[in-house]
Chains A and B, each alone.
Chain A
Amino acid sequence: MIAYLVKRLVQGIAVMLVISALGFAIQSHLGDPLRDLVGQSLGQDAQQQLRQDLGLDDPYWAQYVRFLGRVMQGDLGTSLFFDEPALQVILKKLPATLELVFAATVIIVLLSVPLGVYTAIRPHAILSRVIMGLSVLGISTPVFLTAILMISVFSVGYGWLPAFGRGDAVPVWGYWETNFASLDGLSHILLPSVALAAIMLPMFIRLIRAEMLEVLQSDYVKYARAKGLHPLRIYYVHALKNTLMPVITLGGVQIGTMVAYTILTETVFQWPGMGFMFLEAVNRADTPLIVAYLIVVGLIFVLTNTLVDLIYALVNPTVKLARMGA
């Protein structure tokens, strides 16, 4: 178990090094930091002097090591626009995004399992065909289109749900304000989370259906029938447990991807999370903030993947963490 965790830690560090190198490359190649600082008013000699003082003349790798050292201490640079530490800007926006991703994940889990199972055990039913047809539509509709359609129907058309913002978010702790503690907060998170879920949901339904269909052909399911078990027990205990193994692995990766997808959803719904913040940072050429965002999102990816692997090992008895460390 410990060997496995150490192995995952080393892998995680390797991934983070690559991400930080990419981030640093962006920072050092997007424009000239000196011009950002002083403009063109300073003379050539003074500029050269400043360059040396700031270490901008040092070899590339030396600058990268210095950058790494700062990142290790939690210093991801200072946002040019907010004039605050970039990490702090992101941490303020992070809860909104995580809540959005969480709400979307809940929707996906609650819908994909029953729908996937149903379409697998009743493949010829009309409802199954409708679900499968809609899922193709869902996969091929981009999130901004779904989001705008939902706004035009539910916010503009019927006026049932708010079209933008977080509404009445209740402070919990530190920068964390929650949408789940008030009716207004819930009504604000509903449309964005449905829009975000709409991208992933069809894929999960199809994945669960495909895996389930395969498992239902297996000998152990036939054997479970031969034992005289109730079909519900066969479907939901014998088959589903085996179906979910590959789904968990993919699901973990997708939760990470969803954090990235929030850029579009948050922009359409003006959701004050870090996806929306990132897009604004790009517009304002706020390089330190862009780099900090990349590093934080990379870290979220690494963490969720490790967590998912651990969960997978807990659910699947044939996986022994002790052996995976070897």
Chain B
Amino acid sequence: MSLLSVRDLTVKFAMRSQTVTALHQISFDLARGERLGIVGESGAGKSITGFALMKLLSAPGYIDSGTIQFDGTDITQAPEAQMRQIRGNRIAMVFQDPMVTLNPVLTIGQQMVETLRAHRKLSRRDAQEIALTKLREVQIAAPELRLKQYPHELSGGMRQRIIIAMALLLDPDLIIADEPTTALDVTIQADIMELLLKLCQANKVGLILITHDLGVVSQLTERTLVMYAGRIVEAGKTREIINDPQHPYTQGLINALPQQTLPGQMLKQIPGAMPVLTDIPPGCPFSPRCAFALAECRRLLPQIMQQGSSEVACHEVNRLHSDLLLEEGR
């Protein structure tokens, strides 16, 4: 029985002149303690997926259809009071930029204690004790001092450690981390990622890691979803996707990694850019940028299908596989 089961989740944005679809019937599962990566370029719908799971889409975004089963509760149907009990308590979030995530006029201690006391009947003193334990877990120097400090007195790396400590405060079942290291120095990024992995493993917490960085996904997660223009285009075991990417978009993302390029060479970019939501091309949304695109691709939307160990939404991959099956049959 999976912890999280998302079925046909569709998110729309009601703009003044039209309604655009930001997520098209997304489906995926997450087992208890499992770590899942969601990758894609900006605008793929990764962050929207994360906020939809928390039912925190800000207007004009809304969940149009589909279900999000979280430990027996359908989040799409849950009233706001019930969602409040889930947020921060059962599902915690780590935001992208630690410089703007913490409230500038409240101390770290106040912000940690209020989170605990929103979900549990605790005295201020007991809540502070728990906060201190969690700060020690994220290896922050002088945790007692940090409780009294304001966010601006701390570095970005330290703030992100504190936010990770805050995510762990109530021993959640799942942490959704949205680009948790994008805003940090490269030298600190690896530390934070390692910390996140270690703490998730130690506390048996599930993780949804939203990022554009396939390198990070390969180190931290067991399964990966690749998203493009609000759809899942490839899903499977992270190792399979990294070693044997099926979808041309996933291949493009992997080739674009700096590790795939020799020093002095230009990075291998995917030509073109992600289409905007109001102007999605017909057929496969990736077809205008795809080197393998056929006439069929520009006309017909590929459905996501099991191909080997992964699921892929691509006409070309389907064709290759059916050829392969034919050959084997011969």
Contacts and interface: CB of A to CB of B under 8 A. Distances in A.
Contact of B56 (A222, A245, A317): A222
A242 B84 contact: no
Interface stretch (B18-26, B88-96, B139-147, B197-205): B88-96
B100 A218 contact: yes
Nearest to A218: B100
A318 B85 CA distance: 32
Interface stretch (A82-90, A107-115, A126-134, A225-233): A225-233
A227 B88 contact: yes
Contact of B87 (A225, A238, A318): A225
A241 interface: yes
Interface residues of B, number: 29
Interface residues of A, number: 22
Contacts, number: 75
A239 to B, nearest CB: 9
A218 B99 CA distance: 12
Contact of A317 (B86, B89, B119, B150): B150
A224 B93 contact: no
A60 interface: no
B105 A242 contact: yes
Interface in B148-183: 150, 152, 166
Contacts of B150: 317-318
A316 interface: yes
B101 interface: yes
A219 interface: yes
A65 interface: no
Interface string A224-258: 11111110010001100110010000000000000
Contacts of A245: 105
B243 interface: no
B93 A223 contact: yes
Interface in B51-86: 54, 56, 58, 83-86
Nearest to A225: B56
Contacts of B95: 219, 222-223, 226
Interface of A: 218-220, 222-230, 233, 237-238, 241-242, 245, 315-318
Closest 3 CB pairs of A and B: A228-B88, A228-B87, A227-B88
